[in-house]
Structure 1
Amino acid sequence: MALRRHTLPRYWLGLTLGGVALLCGVAYWWEQQLPLRLRDAAQRGDLEACLRYSEQLAALRWLGQKAPSEQATCRRRQAELAWEQGDRSQALRLQEQLVNSAIGSSSEQQQDRQRLMRWRDQLRNQALLRFREGDLDAAITLLQPVEQGDGRPGTRLSDSLRETWNRNRLNHERLLEMVQDQKWWEALSLLNQLDHPWWQRKALAERAKVEAAIDALRDREEHHSHGELPAHTVPQAELDAAVRQRIRMGMDPWQAFISGCADVGGTVVEDGPESLCRRP
């Protein structure tokens, strides 16, 4: 019985080592078969089988077998086909694998890198075009294959597009409030802060209304300067010159109006729906 107990561990150890050796042998044999199957699939034009064999071969490269050139050819063809069929995510994934594998001549590797950069640039340009047209969701969708795996929030192009869109949306909402309250100078300031073509077009009606109201205010100020209103209203020419100077310094129109009024010795007062500059 004692002899039997000592024999059993050796038996199981031998069985385990034998199983491991058998698995390694099968893996080695299969690795030797894969290049032949890969070449055959590449010659037949069977891209799916070619890609499947190339992925299996890549998983077995720890055994020391160098990846054959057919693996790069297969990925290259499959990536081009996916791009032509509109599967941008799959195309970029395969092309990135191709570039990272460093298989092929230096000229082929350079062409692979250039193709990857060109595809990424095309998607970015298409996304920017859709963004300028006002379709934020489509722009973000186009950028997803490019930014896949990029874990740096706040630094991606999609983050910048969202920030620009939301800023313009909020400024447009505030613009509508200022127009409704007939605060024309504040409204003009918000109009000038809109820096997205789609939101600028959306605010064309408000811009026309605001500019007409400001022109009416200026006409009224001109009448004021002819004595129709109290003399303590500042001269329109001096106020306009001061406001223009402040705008050239980089101020928005409303702040330029406030500062320009102070420059000519006046203060801004609310006269009904209008903002006037008057001297004490």
Structure 2
Amino acid sequence: MALRRHLPHFWIIATLGGVAALCTGAYLWEQQLPRKLSQALLTDNLPACLRYGEQLAALRWLGQKAPEELAICRRRLAQQAWDPADPGQALLLQEQLVNSGVGSLQQQEQDQKQLKLWRDELRDQALSQFRAGQLNEALTMLRPLEKHDGRPGSRLSDSLKESWNRNRHQLEQLREHVNQDQWWEALSALNQLDHPWWQRQAEPMRQEVEQAIDDLRDRKEHQSHGALPAHTVARDLLNEAVEAYILEGMPPWEAFMAGCRDLGGTIVEDGPETLCQAKH
């Protein structure tokens, strides 16, 4: 019974002793860290400087700033690590540096400018890759920028994927219209391609579509029984009006009717042909 009565006291003493030992160890280590940190910075041992600085920052009371030496190490390491091909580590260090708020106002402004410069450089390179048709490479370059950036659907990478898929769909539509000899619809699909790489993929079909539309116009001017009446609306003006409406998103047939109407013409069905004739 006596032993059982003494057990709680034993565990309390042992626990308090363990806590005291841990606190003592942490205190002694904290006292050594500034010296180790300064020595690492002095010898330009930046990895050790970063390690000691982060340990010292973790042991400081809430609200205290990180040591100045840690900011210096992060700044130097970020400069050494910067590589547009693998920017993750440099961006992380620079972001930590900016968020730490350590240094003079001038130095903090310089750190923020450097971070913005790197982010802008990566974004520009990603857009160049995207315009060159390298979607996956562009998305890879944007990944470090967007690691903690915005809600899904609101990031630049989402916009690039949406644009890429939309242009791919337009090219598929273009092929279908060409295969079905739907030339005005094909022209509409061509005009909705707004990505340089996809526009280049469509270039051979563009020539085919434009030639087919020219042939259609020629047939409108020269019916099987002879030339069209002289009062038919001018072909060039009609073409410009129709294409302008198509660029605004109007369906091809509606664009043809609207263009004819704008030029003071009227739609006339002449056998298999549909003409835009000037009113008397």
What do the CA deviations read for 1:10-37 (whole angstroms, capped 9, x no partner)?
1111110111111111112111211111
* Secondary structure of 1:266 counterpart: strand
- Aligned in 2, Cα 1:86/1:240: closer, same or farther, shift over 3 Å? closer
TM-score by length of 1: 0.86
Greater mean deviation of Cα atoms: 62-71 or 146-155: 62-71
* Secondary structure of 1:62 counterpart: coil
Shift of 1:239: 7.6
Amino acid aligned to 1:199: W
Question: Residue 9 of structure 1 corresponds to which residue in structure 2?
Answer: 8
The CA distance in 1 between the partners of 2:31 and 2:271, in whole Å, is 88
Whether 1:237 and 2:236 are equivalent positions in the alignment is no
Shift of 1:58: 2.3
What do the CA deviations read for 1:134-175 (whole angstroms, capped 9, x no partner)?
111111011011001235111100000000010000100110
Question: Residue 140 of structure 2 corresponds to which residue in structure 1?
Answer: 141
Question: Residue 184 of structure 2 corresponds to which residue in structure 1?
Answer: 185
- Aligned in 2, Cα 1:244/1:70: closer, same or farther, shift over 3 Å? same
Question: Residue 104 of structure 1 corresponds to which residue in structure 2?
Answer: 103
* Secondary structure of 2:145 counterpart: helix
The CA distance in 2 between the partners of 1:73 and 1:175, in whole Å, is 57
- Aligned in 2, Cα 1:66/1:96: closer, same or farther, shift over 3 Å? closer
Shift of 1:59: 2.0
- Aligned in 2, Cα 1:235/1:173: closer, same or farther, shift over 3 Å? farther
Shift of 1:243: 6.2
The CA distance in 2 between the partners of 1:190 and 1:268, in whole Å, is 26
Question: Residue 267 of structure 2 corresponds to which residue in structure 1?
Answer: 266
Shift of 1:262: 7.2
- Aligned in 2, Cα 1:212/1:230: closer, same or farther, shift over 3 Å? closer
Shift of 1:213: 0.8
Shift of 1:265: 4.2
The CA distance in 2 between the partners of 1:63 and 1:214, in whole Å, is 74
Given that residues 57 and 67 in structure 2 are in contact (C-alpha distance below 8 angstroms), is that contact kept between their aligned partners in structure 1? no
Provide structure 2 residue ranges, at least 5 long, that are not aligned to the other structure: none
Q: Say how many residue pairs are matched.
A: 272
Question: Residue 59 of structure 2 corresponds to which residue in structure 1?
Answer: 60
Question: Residue 93 of structure 1 corresponds to which residue in structure 2?
Answer: 92
Question: Residue 226 of structure 2 corresponds to which residue in structure 1?
Answer: 228
Greater mean deviation of Cα atoms: 200-209 or 257-266: 257-266
- Aligned in 2, Cα 1:253/1:238: closer, same or farther, shift over 3 Å? farther
Amino acid aligned to 2:69: E
Shift of 1:38: 1.1
Given that residues 133 and 198 in structure 1 are in contact (C-alpha distance below 8 angstroms), is that contact kept between their aligned partners in structure 2? yes
The CA distance in 1 between the partners of 2:131 and 2:276, in whole Å, is 43
The CA distance in 1 between the partners of 2:36 and 2:148, in whole Å, is 32
The CA distance in 1 between the partners of 2:139 and 2:148, in whole Å, is 15
Question: Residue 75 of structure 1 corresponds to which residue in structure 2?
Answer: 74
Whether 1:30 and 2:25 are equivalent positions in the alignment is no
Given that residues 78 and 93 in structure 2 are in contact (C-alpha distance below 8 angstroms), is that contact kept between their aligned partners in structure 1? yes
Amino acid aligned to 2:226: E
What do the CA deviations read for 1:164-189 (whole angstroms, capped 9, x no partner)?
01000010011011111111100000
Given that residues 269 and 277 in structure 1 are in contact (C-alpha distance below 8 angstroms), is that contact kept between their aligned partners in structure 2? yes
Bigger share in helix = 1
Shift of 1:42: 1.0
Amino acid aligned to 2:180: D
The CA distance in 1 between the partners of 2:36 and 2:271, in whole Å, is 85
Given that residues 261 and 267 in structure 1 are in contact (C-alpha distance below 8 angstroms), is that contact kept between their aligned partners in structure 2? no
What do the CA deviations read for 1:199-227 (whole angstroms, capped 9, x no partner)?
11111111111111111111111113x95
Q: How does 1:96-175 map to 2 (within 5 A)?
A: 96-150=95-149, 152-175=151-174
- Aligned in 2, Cα 1:257/1:22: closer, same or farther, shift over 3 Å? same
Shift of 1:62: 3.2
Given that residues 221 and 236 in structure 1 are in contact (C-alpha distance below 8 angstroms), is that contact kept between their aligned partners in structure 2? no
The CA distance in 1 between the partners of 2:78 and 2:128, in whole Å, is 24
Provide structure 1 residue ranges, at least 5 long, that are not aligned to the other structure: none
Aligned alpha-carbon RMSD (Å): 2.9
The CA distance in 1 between the partners of 2:150 and 2:238, in whole Å, is 49
